[in-house]
Structure 1
């Protein structure tokens, strides 16, 4: 529902206040927790339409009740047992519960088709081993196709766990299929914003041990593997505007572009022989979709996502079974169509009502309290806010259409970031008064307000450990009360950054060498420009040619006027040339130092000076709450 605009925000009740029983004990009445119905997961309406389970085992999620875990989170986690469903007997299997993503295995005449091998080789191997125990004869068949439904870290980096090798791909024994937009989008994730994406993703659960004070699941699956990864370049690309129709190992596939969680590199699959559709992450598991992800992303076009769902829905209308890249598989045409139709309509509702209010002059943050899912979406078990949330999605819609500015020149006129915090502390009566207000708010379980007022103090004096610990207490308790896993973990991990207890030694690295060394060298080199330290580059005028000996690629940079202008191919009038094989060149640009195996044509001093202009960033040194450079301990 949307509050009547004539009421005004002050008279509009927050949609997040209705909590009773155990949920209420976790936090204050004004804590933003969406009402949920955990029992819906076990209702006959749900269970009767799940695809048959051929095998089931233990659960990697944290499933015990705890005072620091919302009961709805516990109920959601209990669905995430390791299991193999059989949507199409003897032919199509969905393996879930071993990692964040679910893997589809299709048994062909001469081999297996594997859709989304997963996040890492160890988790993938565990998935495959379970399948081979269930179907030994089928498991003995070679994998002949790997499909990456999109580029995200939980989907495309475990193919070696299914026995795939580069030698088999080079020999034509294995096809790797992905969207035509897959590589460019992956390069952006890895080379442009890889450092900050690594950190923000780790805060969502990668740094904190699973359990009652950490992640109880990962929103779309029970666990996230941290084993070695593998990556192979696609051999076959799905066009951006039409399906790829092919037959492999006797299996007909219609692989079609359908915008979703990954934007325009999302692809879904229809198996006409079996009347089965795989919705990948166009349909994002059993949760309201992440129309914006808190870990950070370029704009997810909500209207395009809705159209992607419509495309998938057309295939669903001629399907009897359904699977996706997360969670459980379904059966029953009417049920499948209803779920996807509701999903599509819920997206439109949130989009249209956001725009409606925007056009009346409501501001971005007001939308979060005013746009609330009505029935039938509110009670749909597949639209609860365990991963995506309306409140953080509507802000994305505002920014996507209008950008960050909300029309009040105060945002342009106010003092700078740190000075604003200092002035707030002064007006509130100084440090002790701010601490007093924070303690009072925490005592009243008003954790959101406590975090708000204490934020000014931690910004004004980021080394004030008393203020940091107090804000950490507020955020931690707020996080414990959340049903949305992102909200929970950003509260908990943020608290740990503030109080110095966060162990940031093991992030999942978006810039992992296993990925970087496979991507086209020139594409990776082109992203160096965003690491240029403009202050160091002041007054520099350098032209540097890179020659990658083993791939034949050439590219270069002209540093001028405090930018690094990239060009592919020969660079006329280069000051120096840096030549070497791909591994040596990548090592050189990653470390900012000339590595063994590179040759410099021209002055070594100039080459070293050029490399020194670019920042070498360690992702796990980046703060999200404290200013850059402030130690967390």
Structure 2
């Protein structure tokens, strides 16, 4: 296979050779391991897995590292995120309890095996480094209850932007984020033909979750300094993977810094996430790394949310600085070539990492890639339009595909070209041409199976976990073999229950069916009786305008406790415990204007609404 063929769809083939994570220089700067268990990643070699992915998976066994003797411990390999534990005089500080209660409980049990002297110490504080689903949802697994938080026995510490950003993920774009996340780590089983690892952790769990809202928040430009269980803690903002709600932590008496996902792990960072995200401002990310670097200057040990912990001041500074400089190189060169007229996809081929970054084991493209990052930078600075009015004049997707199929000689000619491309291992081109026939006729299973083969074979070549899993999951969607029974739910009831009611109500407007609302005009008030919250909507001109607080003249008022109100808006039906005053018909009409969207029904590869199995 030629490099050009392997590079179809801009495959990051540079990382085909495994990074050397077992070199003496690397091992000498890892904090000592005091306990190790099984590896939850898929570690067997197979022709369907890039060699680099297999070697990378082998460094992910369940592990407890002793970072600062008797005081700071680092647990990785139990789930996607790592967990840091500080042992205080009368309790434990836990940084990132994790994705779910089961994984958190397993982490806690392993920690207590490794450090039995901590067995009688309760958790006195939990710090969420940010809102992403692998970080703040396992507090109950560490033995923390709602009562503990409400009584003040346990502090919950997070960014002042934590809740607002989580509300956006849950209520505004939660449906599509759920589906796109599940394609990477939820649907395909761990196997030689599926998930190998998650690049920043061995596996993705979807067990029962817990969420407690912050009791103490960190202001953007003002570090939060606390003494918890006798330990001085400084929590500070440092923009990273999660954007504005990313916080890092410094322990001055131990000269230890926790870099969260400002430094994302032992991989090139995800400057854009293919699962979907608002613009990750790469210039601000650089600023975040600079802030972290300032703390690293006075640190002897380092841990992060997705990596093994390090030791040695010079090594820590070198790692962070090299990471920072690689980000700047990609940022600056993307802007340089953008200013010379290069378009988004041209940049993905033009900007590549040079030395010394290209051979740096911590900058291989296991999680983020330069190719999909430069597209994000381009769009973040100047938007989606590339300047060619063809993009404005072009017919819609189906009309364009119809013309392509006609010009190529019809369906049979398209399929012939697709087969030829697959035989030549030019999988990206095969996927491209077959897409047009599928857009014309989504029920064409012969075309769908051919494209599935192309994407699946392309996915097997990838070292980047997102590229691999989207190739495999996209193939499964096309040929009807996708198993959608186990998605992560961004709107899990445990999350929804904890978030402010009115903040969630506000997001209802994005579910309004404009056709059904064509002639609707009404004022609807919600009163949440047990939280003393109130909000409403003015429905007019095919929109639902949100009104915070009490309305002057509502046509109907829907009153009830938080749980009943949230169930009402989630199902579109009045729940038990809700009362309606005013025009009761208006209440039913209003609820009927909003679609109930199920994430599992959303296609990513097939056209919207196309059946999985026609």
TM-score, normalised relative to structure 1 = 0.95
Residue 567 of structure 1, CA deviation: 0.9
**Is it true that 1:40 corresponds to 2:40 in the alignment?**
no
Cα distance in structure 1, aligned partners of 2:328 and 2:121: 44
CA contact (8 A) 2:8 2:429 kept: no
- Say which of 572, 587, 597 aligns to 2:577: 597
5+ long unaligned stretches in structure 1? 1-15
The answer for the alignment partner of 1:432 in structure 2 is 412
- Superposed CA deviations along residues 197-246 of structure 1, whole A, max 9, x for unmatched, are 00000011210101101110011000111110000000000001121111
The 2-side partners of 1:470 and 1:394 are apart by 30
Once residues 185 and 414 of structure 2 are traced to their aligned partners in structure 1, the CA distance between those partners, rounded to angstroms, is: 30
Deviates more, 1:218-227 or 1:176-185: 218-227
What is the 5 A alignment of 1:55-204? 55-204=35-184
User: 1:444 Cα deviation (Å)?
Assistant: 0.4
Q: 1:136, 1:414 → 2: CA distance?
A: 66
Q: 1:309 to 1:136 in 2, by over 3 A?
A: same
Conserved 8 A contact 2:81-2:98: yes
Quick check: 2:12–2:371 contact (8 Å CA) kept in 1? no
Report deviation, 1:33.
Answer: 1.9
Question: What SS is found at the alignment partner of 1:42?
Answer: coil
User: In 2 relative to 1, CA 31–174 (structure 1 residues): closer, same or farther, beyond 3 Å?
Assistant: closer
Contact 1:116 1:148 in 2 (8 A): yes
1: CA distance between counterparts of 2:2 and 2:136? 39
Contact 2:10 2:349 in 1 (8 A): no
Instruction: Give SS of 1:146's match.
Output: strand
Q: Which residue of 2 aligns with 1:530?
A: 510
Residue in structure 2 matched with residue 616 of structure 1 by the alignment: 596
Is 1:28–1:444's contact at 8 Å kept on the other side of the alignment? no
Q: How does 1:267-416 map to 2 (within 5 A)?
A: 267-416=247-396
- 1:183 shift after superposition: 0.4
Measured in 2, the distance between the counterparts of 1:17 and 1:250 equals 61
Distance 1:329 1:587 in 2: 43
Shift of 1:31: 5.0
1:9 matched to which residue of 2? none
SS of match in other structure, 2:94: strand
Say whether 1:561 aligns with 2:533.
Answer: no
CA contact (8 A) 1:30 1:446 kept: no
2:162 & 2:14 partners in 1: Cα distance? Answer: 34
The structural deviation recorded for 1:67 is 0.4
Q: Residues 450 and 127 from structure 1, CA distance in 2 versus in 1: closer, same or farther, beyond 3 angstroms?
A: same
Shift of 1:104: 0.2
Residue 491 of structure 1 is matched in structure 2 by: 471
Q: CA deviation at 1:34?
A: 2.4
Q: CA deviation at 1:30?
A: 7.9
Runs of 4 or more above 6 Å deviation: 26-30
Give the 5 Å matches for 1:256-271.
256-271=236-251
1:135-166 per-residue CA deviation (whole Å, 9 max, x = no partner) reads 12213200000000000000000000000001
Partners of 1:310 and 1:28 lie apart in 2 by 36
Aligned to 1:576: 556
Rounded to whole Å, the distance in 1 between the matches of 2:407 and 2:388 is 22
C-alpha separation in 2, matches of 1:506 and 1:573: 45
Which residue number in structure 2 is paired with residue 550 of structure 1?
A: 530
Looking at structure 1, the residues matched to 484 and 353 of structure 2 have their Cα atoms a distance apart, in angstroms, of 37
Deviation at 1:396, TM superposition (A): 0.2
- The answer on whether the counterparts of 1:18 and 1:35 sit within 8 Å (CA) in structure 2 is no
8 Å CA contact 1:555–1:570 kept in 2: the answer is: yes
Q: Which runs of no fewer than 5 residues in structure 2 stay unpaired?
A: none
Q: Please give the per-residue CA displacement for 1:589-615, whole angstroms capped at 9, x wherever unaligned.
A: 000111111000023221010000011
2:262, 2:288 within 8 Å by CA — same for their partners in 1?
yes
In structure 2, the residue matched to 1:607 is: 587
Determine which of 437, 451, 463 is the counterpart of 2:431: 451
**1:88 and 1:274 in contact (8 A); partners too:** yes
Question: Does the C-alpha gap of structure 1 residues 36 and 630 become closer, same or farther in structure 2, counting only changes over 3 Å?
Answer: closer
Find 1:212's aligned residue among 192, 204, 207. Answer: 192
So what's the TM-score if we normalise by structure 2?
0.98
- Structure-1 separation of matches of 2:2 and 2:205: 35
Q: Is the 8 A contact 1:431 1:457 kept in 2?
A: yes
Counterpart contact for 1:105–1:114, Cα < 8 Å: yes
Query: Is the Cα contact below 8 Å between 2:96 and 2:305 reproduced in 1?
Result: yes
Cα deviation digits, residues 248-290 of structure 1 (max 9, x gap): 1111111100000000100000100111000000000100000
CA contact (8 A) 1:31 1:448 kept: no
SS of the residue 2:515 aligns to: helix
Aligned partners of 2:2, 2:525: CA distance in 1, in Å? 60
How far, CA to CA, are the matches of 1:27 and 1:523 in structure 2? 44
Structure 1: how far apart are the matches of 2:389 and 2:558?
Answer: 49
User: What do the CA deviations read for 1:34-74 (whole angstroms, capped 9, x no partner)?
Assistant: 23542511111111111100111110000000000000000
Looking at structure 2, the residues matched to 121 and 70 of structure 1 have their Cα atoms a distance apart, in angstroms, of 32
User: CA, structure 1 residues 280+39, in 2 after alignment: closer, same or farther (shift >3 Å)?
Assistant: closer
What is the number of residues matched between the two proteins?
Answer: 613
